[in-house]
C-alpha cells in the first residue's frame, strides 16, 4: 500500500459500517475489520469461487456481484457475501452419457426455461457471457458452450440471480467434460506413448539411467541438449 492513498473508505459489511483503508480488497477489508474467515475464503486469488459476493454502492441502483478477493472496496459499498449457493449437480456416468441433444434435456431441463433476462451474464464475476453459453447448451453445441464457459470458477452468483433456477456452472461443467472426452479428438501420440510404456519399452533405458554413478548422471544433466 503506498503512503499517499492511505485515506479511508466506508464499507458496510452485512449492513454494519466499518472504516477501512482505501485500496483493500473486500476480503482484506473484512479481515481488517476483524472478521476471521472460515466460509467465503478459498484461494484468495480468483480461481476457486469461494468468495462470491454481492454489493451495491450507495446511490447506485444496480446490484453488482464480484469475488471478494478480487474487488477493491469503494466508499459507500454495501457488501453481503454468498459463501454457498445450492446449485443442482446431477449425477451421471461419463462412460454412458454422449454429447447428444437429449443429455441436457434429461439432466438439466430447466435450461429450456431461460427467459433471456441476461441477469446471469450481468452478475458473472468472471465477465463471461453466461446466457450465451446456456444458449449453446440448449442447442446441443457443447464445444462452444465449453469454450464460452471455460474460465468459470463456479462461484454460483449467476444461479443466485436466475429466475429460471438454472445451475449454470453445472451445465457448463457437463458440456466441458463431454467436449474433452467425446468431441475433441483424442491425442494419438499420447496413446502411442502409453502403449509403449505398458509394453515396458522404456524399462531397460530407465534402469540403465538409474544405475549410473551420480557423477555420470550429473555430466549428462549438465550437457543436455535443450529443444528450441
Q: Which of 17, 113, 139, 218 binds another protein (CB under 8 A)?
A: 218
3 scored as a contact of another protein (CB under 8 A): yes
Q: Least distance to another protein from the beta carbon of 185, Å?
A: 3
Nearer to another protein among residue 47 and residue 112 (C-beta): 47
Q: By CB under 8 A, what part of segment 19-48 binds another protein?
A: 23-25, 28, 31-39, 41-48
Range in contact with another protein (rule: CB under 8 A) among 7-15, 103-111, 160-168, 179-187 = 179-187
Per-residue binding string, another protein, 96-125, x by CB under 8 A, is ------------------------------
Choose among 197, 133, 128, 179: nearest CA to 157: 128
Q: By CB under 8 A, what part of segment 182-201 binds another protein?
A: 182, 184-191, 193-194, 197
**CA-to-CA distance for 9 and 23, rounded, in angstroms?**
9
Range in contact with another protein (rule: CB under 8 A) among 57-65, 102-110, 114-122, 181-189 = 181-189
12 scored as a contact of another protein (CB under 8 A): no
Q: By CB under 8 A, what part of segment 45-84 binds another protein?
A: 45-48, 50, 70-72
Amino acid at each position: 500500500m503506498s503512503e499517499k492513498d492511505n485515506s479511508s473508505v466506508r464499507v458496510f459489511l452485512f449492513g454494519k459500517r466499518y472504516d477501512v483503508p482505501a485500496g483493500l480488497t473486500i476480503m482484506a477489508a473484512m479481515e481488517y475489520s476483524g472478521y476471521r474467515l472460515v466460509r467465503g475464503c478459498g484461494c484468495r486469488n480468483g480461481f476457486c469461487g469461494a468468495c462470491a459476493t454481492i454489493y451495491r454502492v450507495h446511490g447506485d441502483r444496480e446490484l453488482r456481484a464480484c469475488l471478494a478477493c478480487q474487488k477493491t472496496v469503494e466508499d459507500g459499498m454495501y457488501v453481503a457475501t454468498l459463501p454457498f449457493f445450492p446449485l443442482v449437480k446431477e449425477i451421471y456416468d461419463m462412460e454412458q452419457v454422449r454429447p447428444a441433444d437429449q443429455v441436457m434435456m434429461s439432466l438439466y431441463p430447466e435450461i429450456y426455461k431461460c427467459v433471456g433476462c441476461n441477469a446471469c451474464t450481468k452478475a458473472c464475476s468472471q465477465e463471461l457471457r453466461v446466457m450465451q453459453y446456456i444458449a449453446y447448451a440448449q442447442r446441443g453445441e457443447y464445444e462452444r458452450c465449453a469454450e464460452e464457459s471455460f474460465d468459470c470458477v463456479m462461484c454460483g452468483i449467476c444461479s443466485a440471480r436466475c429466475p429460471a433456477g438454472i445451475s449454470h456452472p453445472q451445465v457448463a461443467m457437463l458440456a466441458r467434460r463431454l467436449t474433452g472426452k467425446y468431441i475433441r479428438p483424442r491425442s494419438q501420440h499420447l496413446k502411442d506413448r502409453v502403449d509403449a510404456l505398458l509394453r515396458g519399452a522404456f524399462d531397460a533405458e530407465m534402469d540403465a539411467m538409474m544405475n549410473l554413478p551420480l557423477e555420470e548422471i550429473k555430466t549428462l544433466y549438465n550437457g543436455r541438449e535443450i529443444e528450441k
